[in-house]
Amino acid sequence: GASLALALPFPVLAASPPGLTLTTLPSGLRYADAKVGTGLPLSPGAVASIDVSLASTAGRFPQIYTTQGTAAPYRWVLGDGTTIAGIERAVLGEAGMAPMLPGGIRRVIVPAELGYA
């Protein structure tokens, strides 16, 4: 599966890790690919399976959810409305960002408008 890293408080996430430059898309989503995967991208209706860690901005909630250290990745059907829009877009891609490919690692900062309501 793919990996989506959002595990650190916002000030740490906002700074690009060494070797990565975060790109800001028109939607406000910020991302950088640490590793581009191989194979075919997923499309709506496919089951996505990713390792993910979520934290809030400004460290209000240092960690909301993580699959790190567990045997079960985060899974959902793309397009079924059960996950936040920012994660869907990070996997499916959008204007200016290619879709993730199997085995890829993408760091993403999801703006509030694409996060939990």
Distances (CA, A) of 93 to 9, 53, 65, 77: 24, 19, 22, 15
Strand pairing partners for 97? Answer: 94
Does pTM surpass 0.85? Answer: no
For residue 3, what pLDDT is reported? 44
Q: How many domains does the chain have?
A: 1
Q: What tokens appear for 44 in the block?
A: 């709506």
Per-residue pLDDT reduced to its tens digit, 17-26: 677 889 999 9
**Residue 13: predicted pLDDT:** 46
Rounded Cα distance, 98 and 88, in Å: 13
pLDDT of residue 8: 38
pLDDT of residue 93: 96
pLDDT at 30: 92
Segments in the chain below pLDDT 70: 1-17, 57-64, 117
CATH label of the domain that carries residue 62: 3.10.50.40
Domain hosting 68: range is: 2-114
